Structure 1
């Protein structure tokens, strides 16, 4: 299957991409096969936790990502509150030389259930600071609209709690988000299978950010290829129903 179509690009903030699969890299992920994963999935973007250690920019993970031309989107997982997330975002911008961030704010370390009040406060500040902000949110259409109106460059709603692998648990609420905002929407958590990713794209998501499907697989390279194919198939199915898109 042809994974990418040259004429069919999209914008992650101000960055033009062809691949609609973003690799979410867990802290504890074994990375000896990272290069092969990136190549097999034709991956152009990845999100990774911001490190307070300046040497992180020289780590093997960053090195492999740079060598493969991958755009690195820092995330603020483990930030204690909005102020902490804003500080982390600025540090991440210095590491990757770009003011953008996947904004994660939660009081639930197991499933990363978002904290709406803290998200709104941090997003407003970061947008004011000139950041391209991509918040990880629950499947809450009202919150999605508020964040889009604040100027967030995109949204990453959870199909189901992070790491659960339960797919899109409430398709109606997810569809309401897609119908009510005009910024890119990436399924940001809960993708457990390639079929889940295909469903997200067929519903109209711009892309998918996934870790579990690939890093929990026995054959990570094949998992990356199958996930990329599923994302591509889902998007093609959506385009077939939206010929003017």
Structure 2
């Protein structure tokens, strides 16, 4: 698979990657062009929904991702509380044969607004179970620090509510999170354009997880290529701003 910036290696948990674009795949995404999207965006990681009832659609998606050598990060998007999330996380670990999870807990099915109290409970339980945990969180620096302290392997703050496409609504809060934690931070929701993705990386995010930019485009392969280029450009701009050693 062609890769962006082959010499720019980073870690998502214990996984070495060169692409900083994670594809968030909606449950109802058509699969006929998924392989071409993965190739066009040089995508190495993707997140898919899991639950206690892993349906045929998730299995078909997983099979395509496996064929393209993509690292699959299960997410718990339907979990309404900590117990739901922990159960779903263990089912996801069984599916991908690896204990890691994008932890999503919400009672808001439209925008996936996170539930901080249940996130903290579930994150601590899963970390104790040996999981690499990547919670989807609001842009809350205090919550971010606490989740990093618990032992989360990375954080995915929402730039804006999931699916809204409003970009990073409060850049200051993102900068505070980036300044106060020492784990990878990925913009986990709200990316609406390639420019939003570029902004996130230029601020210092390790990557972005995005669905809307690609799956809402008429030409999804070109959108994937453009998004990958924007992510690379944003990270390059961030590198250029760092003091020379």
Q: Report TM bin, short chain.
A: over 0.9
Structure 2 residue matching 1:32: 3-state secondary structure? coil
Quick one: distance in 2 between partners of 1:150 and 1:35? 37
Which residue in the other structure is 1:177 paired with? Answer: 177
Quick one: distance in 2 between partners of 1:134 and 1:58? 20
Which residue in the other structure is 1:36 paired with? Answer: 36
Deviations 1:155-194 (A, max 9, x none): 0000000000000000001110000000000000000000
Quick one: distance in 1 between partners of 2:173 and 2:102? 21
Map 1:108-187 to 2 at 5 A: 108-187=108-187
Quick one: distance in 1 between partners of 2:45 and 2:178? 22
Higher mean alpha-carbon deviation, 4-13 vs 167-176, is at 4-13
Note if contact 1:167-1:192 (Cα within 8 Å) is conserved in structure 2.
yes
How far has the Cα of 1:84 moved from its partner? 1.0
The answer on 1:213 being equivalent to 2:228 is no
Structure 1 residue matching 2:107: 3-state secondary structure? coil
Quick one: distance in 1 between partners of 2:138 and 2:112? 9
Note if contact 1:3-1:232 (Cα within 8 Å) is conserved in structure 2.
no
Note if contact 2:20-2:207 (Cα within 8 Å) is conserved in structure 1.
yes
Which residue in the other structure is 2:236 paired with? Answer: 236
Structure 2 residue matching 1:162: 3-state secondary structure? coil
Quick one: distance in 2 between partners of 1:39 and 1:12? 20
Higher mean alpha-carbon deviation, 190-199 vs 52-61, is at 52-61
Which residue in the other structure is 1:89 paired with? Answer: 89
Deviations 1:108-148 (A, max 9, x none): 11100000000000000000000000000000000000000
How far has the Cα of 1:61 moved from its partner? 1.2
Structure 2 residue matching 1:59: 3-state secondary structure? helix
Higher mean alpha-carbon deviation, 48-57 vs 8-17, is at 48-57
Quick one: distance in 2 between partners of 1:12 and 1:108? 27
How far has the Cα of 1:8 moved from its partner? 1.0
Quick one: distance in 2 between partners of 1:58 and 1:167? 27
Structure 2 residue matching 1:106: 3-state secondary structure? coil
Higher mean alpha-carbon deviation, 34-43 vs 54-63, is at 54-63
Gaps of 5+ in 1: none
